[in-house]
Every structure is written in structure tokens, then in C-alpha cells.
Amino acid sequence: MATREKNYWLETVSVPPGDSPPLPETVDVAVIGSGVTGLAAALALAKRKLRVAVLEAETLGWGASSRNGGMVLTGMKLPVPTLIRRYGREAVQRMYAASLASIDCVEKIVTEEEIECNFSRSGHLEVACKQAHFDGYEASAALIDREFKHSLRIVPRSQLRDEIGSEIYYGGLVDDVSAGLNPARYIAGLAVAAQRAGALLFARTRAEEVQPQSAGKFRVRTANGTLAAREVILATGAYTSTVTPALRKKIIPIGSYIIATEVLREELARELSPRNRMIFDSKHFLYYYRLTPDRRMLFGGRAAFFPETENTVRQSAEILRQGMISVYPQLRDAKVEYVWGGTLDFAFDVMPHTGRLDGMHYSVGYAGHGVAIGTYLGTKIASVLCGEPKDLPYESIPFPTPPLGLRSGHTWALPLAGAYYKFLDWVS
């Protein structure tokens, strides 16, 4: 079978088409973007009986939310010591607590809304690409246990075969709290749940302009009409547009790509990942991989830093296949049946950010951790709009603007960013 340039996850589910125009004249909250953040916010708001309209430029869940690896991960992108030096102990304790609570948040929604998305607390495994990386695991685990009362388990190289069928790593670090799911089924389930609660979801309804009005209200002009809203939530991630230029210039859009093999024999799948973990390596320019529920090896990474195009998707297929074989020589003859790409939203400091911009609420910068933290922050923003105490750990941290070449809409410097991360991997 020839490799299909299609998102494998979307082959397993039909995402709801959304509601048909016309738009309502007035809503309590307009949500721009229908990824996990936007749909989680819409669900939470609708369940509190607010009138909500979600405005999506493409099909529902079209962006990274339905294209990712389906990893529901604890922790943050940067090492904890780096975070403590940058933000202080108390702030990082709140951030880490949020990362743990985000897994519970996803599980609670999946359970209460009966979303069939193969959610499983399978845990994650970080594998060390160098001895120096593994040497840092013990101090990291001790710090996390001491500061956050959260236990990680170190796996020495001699025992790594119990976790992964590969010989190339120097050891591992396991967190049993993390989970995996089918992201397209999760998005579809969130959409159905939000509609059932009363939210209106409009696909192919690109927001073209947001105008502040008197009394703190907004007028949102779309491709399918205009509506008035008391509040606006920007949940656009890497696809943040010129509608909100001040937010757009804060975002670095980075391409990420995935391949999925044919269905593997049960014994081979068990050899590759005996505990069915969500696995990623310790590099900056990393690989991440896992088994799908039907026993395919899903293997992803930053094969190209440019956002997805036909060319970058095709080039990435072979790059990722060679990477997969370097990890798992057992898959040398396995057919790659799917390849696809997506675009992630990075901030220059590699941190999530929430806050208000020109009176609108936003949440962006998940850097590949969006399934969990995006769900959590969307739900939390909804609770703030409903008058509950504000508990947004990323709202008070600085939100730096990246150099011109790395901003959204300026992609010429992205290869330099890729070269920089590869250099960091070489010297680390």
C-alpha cells in the first residue's frame, strides 16, 4: 500500500460538521478557534447556561488538536531547575500542579461526557539520548518529588528492555500519571458534548475582524455574518491570524510531522512498547512515538521546522522513517501507511501563556503539550468568565515577543531555529 498523505486519526472518526448559519445576533461569549482549548471552554460555558458561539475558519478541530500524537502529558517543556530560576519556586509549584490537574481534567471530561477516544493512563517514558542526559534524571526526579510531591521512576539502561524494545538509549524516566488518547475522537467528542450542552459551533466561519464596542462588548465579523459578544476567547494557537496582530506577533509557528505504520503483529508491538507508554526522547530536536490502539507505530518529530505543506510532508515521511528505524531496527520492513503534518504554537520562552489582550481572553503557546494543558486552561478561562476565582498560573509571567524572523507569518528564520536546536543537542 502506498503511503497516504492523510491524518490517520481522522480515518477513525467523523468529526461533527457543526451548526449551519445564520449566526445568532448576540451571544455571551464568542470563542475563536475550535481546538481543545476552544471546545473545552465552550463546553464549560454552555454547561453553566451561557450562550456560546464557536467560530472556526476550517472544519471543527482542524488544527493541531486533531493531528497530534495523542499524548496527554504531565510536566512542562522546560526543565524544572530552569523554570525555578526563571519564575521562582512558588510560581513553578502552581504551574506543575496545573500540569498534574490537567490530566485529571481530561479524564473527567472523557468520563462525564462518555467520549470514546481510547483514553488510557498508560504513563509516559522519557528516554535519554546521552549518558549526560540520564545522569540528570536522578536530580530532576528528586527535585520534583521534593517540590511538587510527585514521584517519577528512574529506569537504568540495564532495565530499559522492560519499557522499550530499543538498544540505543542510556536509560529512562517514567511518569505513570500521563495518558494517551485518540485526539480526533477526543475533538469529536468535545464538539458533540459542547453542542449537547447548548453551544453553537460554526465551521467554515472565519473571524475576519473583532471590533470593541461600548460597555466592554465586541462585534465579531465573520465570513458568514456578524455577531455581538460580551466576551471573546482567542483559542487560535499556531493559526492566530491578522485579526489579532498583537497576539499573532507573539507566536512562533513550528511544523511537526508524524508517520504511522501498517498494523503490527501483536508480539512485535509488545516487544517495541511492552507497557504501551507515550515515549519521547531527551533531545531538543526530539522524536516522540507510541503505539496506536490498533497496534500501529506512530512516530513523530520536528522533521522540518516549516509549517506543513505538500513538500514538507513528503520530505518528512522519509526523514521520520529513517529516524524510526534508528530507534527500532525491527521496523525496517514495516510499511509506512500514513504521513501528515501540523503546526504547533511555540512562544519564544517555550511556555504557555494566558491573559487578556485588548479586552479579549487568550491561551496559547502549548509547544506540543496542548491536549492536556489546552483542555485545562480552556476550562479555567470559562470558570473565570463565570465569576469563579482566577487560577491561571501562566497569566502573570512575562510574554516575550520573538525576533522578527520567528514571528507568525515570517518563516524565513525557522531553519535557523532548527539548526540552533540541533546544535544544543550536539553540545549537551
Domain presence at residue 3: no
Residue 305 has pLDDT above 60, yes or no: no
Which pLDDT belongs to residue 312?
76
> In angstroms, what CA-CA distances link 335 with 1, 67, 182, 260, 394?
8, 20, 21, 9, 42
Asked whether residue 2 is assigned to any structural domain, the reply reads no
Please tell me the distance from the alpha carbon of residue 10 to that of residue 183, in angstroms, as a whole number: 9
Q: Is residue 69 part of a domain?
A: yes
Where in the sequence is the domain holding 218, given as residue range(s)? 8-427
Query: Is the pLDDT at 420 greater than 50, yes or no?
Result: no
- The helix (H) or strand (E) run that includes residue 90 is helix 89-112
Give tens-digit pLDDT for 88-137: 999 999 999 999 999 999 999 999 999 999 999 999 999 999 999 999 99
Give pTM, 2 decimals: 0.94
Rounded to whole angstroms, the Cα distance separating 337 from 260 reads 6
The DSSP element (H or E) to which 290 belongs, if any, is strand 287-291
Q: With beta carbons less than 8 A apart as the criterion, state whether 97 and 243 touch.
A: no
Phi-psi map region of 402: left, alpha, beta (phi>0 left; psi -120 to 50 alpha): beta
In a domain, 217, yes or no: yes
Mean pLDDT computed over 396-423: 63
Q: Whole-angstrom Cα distance, residue 296 to residue 290?
A: 8
DSSP state of 306: S
Q: What band does 302 get if pLDDT is binned at 50, 70 and 90?
A: confident
Total tally of structural domains belonging to the chain: 1
DSSP letter for each residue of 149-173: ----EEEEGGGGGGT-S-SS-SEEE
Lowest average pLDDT, out of 44-53, 209-218, 319-328, 331-340, goes to: 209-218
Looking at residue 413, its pLDDT comes to: 45
131 falls within a domain: yes
Report the CATH number at residue 297.
3.50.50.60
Domain contains 165: yes
pLDDT band at 425 (very low <50, low <70, confident <90, very high): very low
